[in-house]
Amino acid sequence: MSKATRQAFGEALAKLGETHPEIVVLDADLAKSTKSELFMKKFPERFFEMGIQEANMIGVAAGLAFTGKLPFLCSFGAFLTGRFDTIRLSVAYSNANVRLIGTHAGVGIGDDGHSQMALEDIALMRTLPGMGVFQPMDARDTEQLMDYLVNTWKGPAYLRLTRQNLPDLTPSEHVFNPLKLTPIRKTTGTSKPVVLIGTGGTLGEAVQASEKLNAAGVASEVWNATSLKPFDHETTSKLASSARLMVTVEDHSVIGGLGDCVAEVLATLSQHAPLVKLGIQDQFGESGEGPELYEKFGISASKIVESIQRKLG
């Protein structure tokens, strides 16, 4: 079964609303797209339609948080980061207990084109002190992450969600810990593996790429990063010490995203495997079918394999 993480988010939010009266939800005329409408229909008195005013919505959410509410504010990630100054001052600098929900991550949204694609959001949000930055890998991960964001996380957090459906990838025996990298596919060989790390929409591509590599005799394994901040330095360091090659795959700019999360760890190690950062290479997105765009921007399974084989020579 596959599901968009925005859908899993909307369902989880509506469910959490039953047991958490402090949750309030704000949307800026995109409730149908962000799936916050599932909460709206169930709890209209705790849902605020803020109109096409993202900056005001962000400030209002901060004010609501200061009176003890737990606001979830929802829009496309691209439109939230467009109001970065308000997030920076009214939310982050005030340590407002706000959940910023940015849907429509990356080129994976397809047809609508660059203006609607969140491609810099991880990079921007990571720079804000105290801001958690999370991107779940599938529906089950989203559900568990939502529980964590309501019951455990304190202070501001950004949640990055996909428009497109994602395959179920959470391992069945997985013990949820969003702050640790999750092993998705372990290598079977004894040689040093290529280590692929994916996040959100690209994880399924990384898994397929790994299968192709293994079939071609290249040992590889796949890990998932749900938390981009805090980032799991410990596991990343271990992987980088034993890997043949590190490869990050993300539907986001390679500047400041998952690739740089890993690069920042590698830079502290005296010895580590080289790193290939796959993602949007300092380019704008464009219209097209999501899978075609994954191909064009080099983050489809086959393109991942090509990049790795080219690097391995």
Give the side-chain half-sphere CA count within 13 A for 155. Answer: 13
56 binding another protein? (CB under 8 A):
yes
Q: Does 80 bind another protein (CB under 8 A)?
A: no
Binding flag, residue 59, another protein (CB under 8 A): yes
Indicate which single residue of 15, 94, 168, 263 sits in contact with another protein (rule: CB under 8 A): 94
Separation CA 313–CA 307 (nearest Å): 10
For another protein, which is the closer residue by CB, 87 or 276? 87
Type of residue found at 17: G
For 116, phi then psi, to 5°, come to: -100, 0
**Is residue 24 a contact residue for another protein (CB under 8 A)?**
yes
Label the pairing between strands 245-253 and 275-280: parallel
89 near another protein, rule: CB under 8 A: yes
Between CA 170 and CA 142 the distance in angstroms is 10
Contact 116, 78 (CB under 8 A): yes
Please identify, among the stretches 48-56, 209-217, 266-274, 280-288, the one whose residues bind another protein according to the rule CB under 8 A.
Answer: 48-56
DSSP helix/strand/coil, 181: coil
Instruction: Say how many residues touch another protein, by CB under 8 A.
Output: 30
Among this protein's residues, is 295 annotated catalytic?
Answer: no
- Select the residue interacting with another protein from 14, 25, 61, 246 (CB under 8 A): 61
Q: Nearer to another protein by C-beta: 71 or 106?
A: 71
Residue 249 belongs to what H/E stretch? strand 245-253
Which residues are known to be catalytic?
54
Residues making contact with another protein (CB under 8 A): 24, 46, 48, 50-51, 53, 55-69, 71, 85-86, 88-90, 93-95
